[in-house]
Every structure is written in C-alpha cells, then in structure tokens.
Structure 1
C-alpha cells in the first residue's frame, strides 16, 4: 500500500485565478470613460462650431449639426487643443519650471517632520486656562473658518473643471477663424484655401470661401463685399474657382 507524497515543506502551489469582479469593474471603468469622453467631445464640437461661425458674425441656427459631426469635430478639437497646449508650454517653459520647483518645495515641507499643529499648540498653550464654554466657541469658529477655507479651492477646482471644455472649445473656434480669415483676405489667387463661385439660374451671384452649409442655407465669405453672407441654398450651383492640382 502506497501513501501519497506530501508536498515539500516551504513550497506553496499557486495558480492565477482572476477575481470575478475584475472584468465587470474594468468594463464599468471603460464605460464611464467613454461616456465622459462622449459628453466632452460633443460639447467641444458644439462650442467650436458656434464660436467659429459667430466670429464671422453668422448665427449657427441655420446650420444644425448631427451628433456624429459634433463628436468628430470635438475629437479634432481635443487634438488641436493639445497642439495649442504644447505650443503654450514651450513658450512659457520658464514659468512652468518655476511653478514645478515651488510645488516640489511645498510637497517637501508638507511631508517633512515639521508639524504645524505642534507649533500651534506651543504658541497657543495659554488656551488651556480658558473656560470650557470659551474653548467650545473657539472650536466652532475654527471649524467654520476651516470649512470656508476648504470650500474656496474646491469651488475653484469645480469651476475650472466644468468650464474648461467650453473655454477650450471657444479658444479653438477663435484660432480656427483667425487662421481662415488670415488666408481668405489674401484673395482667391494667393490663398491656400479653395474659392467657390456661386451661380443661380446660370448667373454668378458671388465668389468667396465656403464657411458652412445645411439643407436650407449656405454661408460663405464674399471676397467682394469683404464679409460673410448667408443665402438660401435652393437652386444654387457651386463651382470650384480653380482647377484641381495634378497629383
């Protein structure tokens, strides 16, 4: 009769067994991130669209956009925003270095052996001789002051987080307008953008740069009037001002 061999002392047999909550938790996190990104992209696309047309003194009402269009342009808006952020960081590198140094010094002081509360106890040791009711009043006043002091940075952080996407979208819209306007004022012959000629019933009614269009209206920058125009799109013919370049 043979007896089963016991495992050697000190050895532990282990096997990887994923916990049941791993995948649901990961999927939940991904769903949350996708939902947040969708909201941010949609908001960015909407703000960029409204700001861009507003800079041309055109209302965005006649040019509604689909959700897919807003999400796609919001995505490109985030990409453009990071490019603008990188450019700003390079231009203000010295201020960033100073700010990072001050932050590191603050963290060093925060995690050092020095304790502000011990220092305060030494300086305020006379409070132990005060009546209990006076200590209670002082405690409530200190607690209220601390809560008020914490609410200020918390409100500031929430304000920045909520308003940041709209602010970024507005900045991107203004920068896009500035770039297009700078190119448009050069004229159809010298600009990089493509001009269009607009005809109705075979008669030319304008030449300029297409800004936006919908099923009902068309917006373009008129190179003769030097301003943007919005006209009904029904019955219009649009022709490219120049022939396509050979590949």
Structure 2
C-alpha cells in the first residue's frame, strides 16, 4: 500500500507541475512545447488518457443505458445457469427443480447483484474522473495565479517592479529588455518591458545582462 501511495503521489506531483507550467506559459501566449520539462511523459500521457477514457466510458454507458442494463441481466442469467446442477444421473436436477423457492431466490440474488454493479459502475467512473481531474485543476490554477501576480509587477516596468529586469544583447547591441519567464537550452522567454508582451527568443549568441546590481548586506557592503 505504501509503495502504491508513493507511486500515485509521484504521478500526481508530476501532473500538477506540468499543468502549472503549461498554464503559466499559456497565460503569456507562449507555446509550452518550446520549453520542455524533464518529466516522464509516458506517465503524464497515461494520466490524461485514463481521464479521457473514463469520461468516454461514462458517456457511453449513459447513451446506451438500456443495453447496459440488458447486459447486466444477461450476466446474471449466465451465472445462474453456470452455477446450476446439470448432472441428470445424480438426482440433483430433480432436487433443484423441486425447491422452486430456493432457485427463484438465487436467481433474484444474481439479478440484484449484477444490476447493482451496473448502477454503481457509472457512479464510480464519475468519482474516479473527478478525483483524477483535481491535480490538473490545482496545477492550472496555481500556474495562472503565479502569472497574474507577476503580471502586476511586470507592467510597472523595470525600475518600479520588485522583480529584476534583464537586458538582451547580440553582437554587443541591446535589442530587448524585460523579465525572464522561462528558458530552455534553445530558447528564452521574456516579458518585454517596452512591448508589454511576452517574447520567445533563440538563445544562440544572445547575452543576458542583469538590470540591477545585487543588494549586499550591510555587513559586507563596500
């Protein structure tokens, strides 16, 4: 059980992290695929696939509930016949047929059991899907809230914002300044302080210069 909980928790954390990262970049209008994160994509894709298939299964059951109920009755009859005695030479059949009340009760139990499973299954699918959606919703809400808090500061400009600006240079010439949103080995995303919009810039031969000197503690300040 502990191993299972660790495994589920790991996947949940991955999902929240990926959803938060995607939502954060989407807020700025940036393709999250340009800035990949080192995570197990197979587990993440499996998570979303499981959620989608659970939702589709629930919709399919609702759309064909008559067939679903008929299938449950068919399973009940199959179990009833499968577990009934059919050896005519043993006398068990005559005994079984003579006790009509007993086999009627047994058939009723099979019908009640399979119909109960048929009713519970859609409910379980809804509950399962709802639980699986929670990590994605939490991550998305977290990423968007983070972006909104930063947007308030970024729009103040490099001088008034509590966040540090960077200046981008290429061949010694400054061509942009703003706040770093994300980065990868190939690209860097910034919120351009002049354009008031997000930009994705190739990293090749681009120099990043901090817009402020670090604030040193009084004990070591020159």
After TM superposition, the score normalised by the length of structure 1 is 0.56
* SS class of match (1:67): coil
Residue 190 of structure 1 corresponds to which residue in structure 2? 160
Q: Which has the higher contact order (CA 8 A, sep 6+)?
A: 2
Matches within 5 A, 1:69-80: none
Equivalent position SS for 1:47: helix
CA RMSD between the two structures: 2.7
Query: How far, CA to CA, are the matches of 1:145 and 1:34 in structure 2?
Result: 35
* 1:226 equivalent in alignment to 2:202: no
Report the Cα distance in structure 1 between the residues aligned to 2:148 and 2:29, rounded to whole angstroms. Answer: 13
Match of 1:166 among 131, 136, 150: 136
C-alpha distance in 1, partners of 2:155/2:23? 20
Structure 1 residues without counterparts, runs of 5 or longer: 1-28, 69-131
Q: What are the within-5 Å matches in structure 2 for residues 23-62 of structure 1?
A: 29-62=1-34
- Offset of residue 37 of structure 1: 1.4
Aligned pair count?
157
For residues 122 and 161 of structure 2, the distance between their equivalents in structure 1, rounded to whole angstroms, comes to 50
Q: Which runs of 5+ in 2 are unaligned?
A: 41-100, 218-222
Instruction: Tell me how far apart the structure 2 counterparts of residues 141 and 181 of structure 1 sit (CA, whole Å).
Output: 60
Scaled by the length of structure 2, the TM-score of the pair is 0.62
